Amino acid sequence: MVIYWPSTESYLSTMDIHINQKPLSLPEGATVADALAAYGARPPFAVALNGDFVARTQHAARALQPGDKLDVVQPVAGG
């Protein structure tokens, strides 16, 4: 007898957000830090969630909602 048991991943609900105008699917309950890791962001950078600045100390605590828009901005040196 063979019993098929789907992986737990099939039970995870996902949500769609945008980072720098690019779509990204994440598990529900994901945080700003999770999104930045999935996007591959490398410091230094500043982050805005739906147009509001998010301090680095809040990245791990700030939960995302479906449809959220993250902007990741890296500094540019010039003279």
Domain ranges of the chain: 14-73
Topology adopted by domain 14-73 = Ubiquitin-like (UB roll) (3.10.20)
Reading across the β-sheet that carries 46-49, which strands appear in turn?
22-27, 14-19, 69-73, 46-49, 52-54
pLDDT tens track for 9-50? 555 799 999 999 999 999 999 999 999 999 999 999 999 999
pTM: 0.82
d(CA 32, CA 64): 6
